[in-house]
């Protein structure tokens, strides 16, 4: 009996995951490269190397962070997370902010996207104005 329950649960999870692969992303996604943080403390802009975001290649980005008043944020602890909501997996690498360049610019190393589709990248900013998250939607 216990084996049957485990088997049914596994099959149900696989079917649910498979259905997510065929679901379309929401139609109202904002793909802009400048976004306000969720709590309204910051505004951030991503600058990938070049103008496009390639698949399958390690990339270095510049992340510009400023307060909503426009003051650059240089002294901050910033973490990076992300993934593909439709596929239920995270990024294939562990990108991180490696240094501040000044004027609100920060180097992000290790960005990589291994397939096309809808990706979400979240930067969690811990600075004097408080802790907040900036979420970017990407379509590759």
Tokens, residue 91: 């990024």
Residue 20 lies in a domain: no
With a CB cutoff of 8 Å and minimum separation 6, the contacts of 26 are: none
Q: Please name the residue that has the structure tokens 């149900």.
A: 12
Residue 58 lies in a domain: yes
pLDDT confidence of residue 4: 54
Residue 131 lies in a domain: yes
59: containing domain: 34-139
80-132 pLDDT, tens digit each: 999 999 999 899 999 999 999 999 999 999 999 999 999 999 999 999 999 99
CATH of the domain at 110: 2.60.40.1930
One-character DSSP codes across 6-37: HHHHHHHHHHHHHHHHHPPPPTT----SEEE-
Element (H, E) at 77: strand 77-84
pLDDT confidence of residue 14: 47
């Amino acid at each position: 009996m216990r084996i049957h329950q485990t088997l049914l649960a596994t099959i149900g999870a696989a079917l649910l995951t498979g259905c997510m692969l065929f679901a379309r992303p929401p139609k109202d996604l904002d793909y802009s490269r400048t976004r306000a943080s969720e709590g309204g403390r910051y505004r951030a802009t991503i600058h990938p190397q070049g103008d496009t975001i390639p698949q399958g290649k390690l990339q270095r980005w510049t992340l510009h962070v400023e307060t909503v008043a426009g003051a650059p944020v240089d002294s901050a602890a910033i973490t990076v997370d992300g993934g593909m909501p439709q596929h239920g997996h995270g990024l294939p690498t562990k990108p991180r902010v490696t240094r501040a360049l000044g004027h609100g610019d920060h180097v992000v190393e290790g960005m990589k996207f291994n397939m096309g589709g809808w990706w979400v990248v979240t930067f969690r900013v811990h600075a004097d104005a408080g802790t907040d998250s900036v979420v970017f939607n990407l379509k590759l």
